[in-house]
């Protein structure tokens, strides 16, 4: 099985209204890097690929066939406090303050303007999750 560089076995694919604004949040608010953009004939985003750390996510403008849908994502970052500030500065809404969690992550949560929840997580122990 061949998986292109930057992709994983499971790759999130967002269908959102105002895909351009969402891509801007991924880049400016979460520190992503846009790597590819293609447009539909009507000028809307057909597909944008954004690299977030070691993962790629894809974004398309919602349509009648593929309506907007929100989800929840666990985003590993180098510094949860800085990443949280950045997300909030770019329109995210706080749903959980950053704090040290009993499972070894420093984590907080935000909701973006498209309804997705992002668990911004910094692993503070160098060990796998355990019970």
Range of the domain at 5: 1-61
Domain end position, chosen among 23, 38, 61? 61
How far apart, in whole angstroms, are the C-alpha atoms of residue 31 and residue 20?
Answer: 15
Query: Whole-number mean pLDDT of the chain?
Result: 96
Say what the pLDDT of residue 130 is.
85
Same domain, yes or no, for 45 and 81? no
> Burial code of 13-35, b = ≥16 C-beta within 10 A, e = fewer?
ebbbeebeebbebbbebbbbeee
Same domain, yes or no, for 28 and 53? yes
pLDDT of residue 23 exceeding 90: yes
* Mean pLDDT of the region 75-80: 97
Confidence (pTM): 0.94
Nearest to 114 by CA among 51, 20, 48, 37: 20
43-74 per-position pLDDT tens digit: 999 999 999 999 999 999 999 999 999 999 99
Contact partners, residue 126, CB within 8 Å, separation at least 6: none
Say what the pLDDT of residue 131 is.
72
Same domain, yes or no, for 57 and 76? no
Same domain, yes or no, for 32 and 6? yes
* Mean pLDDT of the region 76-84: 97
91-109 per-position pLDDT tens digit: 999 999 999 999 999 999 9
């Amino acid at each position: 099985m061949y998986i292109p560089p930057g992709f994983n076995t499971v790759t999130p694919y967002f269908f959102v209204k105002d895909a351009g604004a969402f891509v801007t949040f991924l880049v400016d608010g979460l520190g992503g890097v846009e790597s590819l953009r293609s447009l539909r004939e009507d000028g809307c985003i057909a597909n944008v690929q954004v690299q977030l750390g070691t993962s790629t996510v894809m974004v398309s403008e919602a349509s009648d066939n593929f309506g907007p849908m929100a989800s929840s994502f666990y985003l590993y970052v180098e510094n949860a406090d800085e990443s949280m500030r950045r997300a909030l500065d770019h329109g995210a809404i706080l749903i959980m303050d950053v704090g040290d969690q009993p499972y070894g992550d420093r984590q907080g949560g935000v909701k973006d303007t498209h309804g997705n929840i992002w668990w911004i997580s910094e692993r503070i122990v160098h060990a796998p999750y355990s019970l």
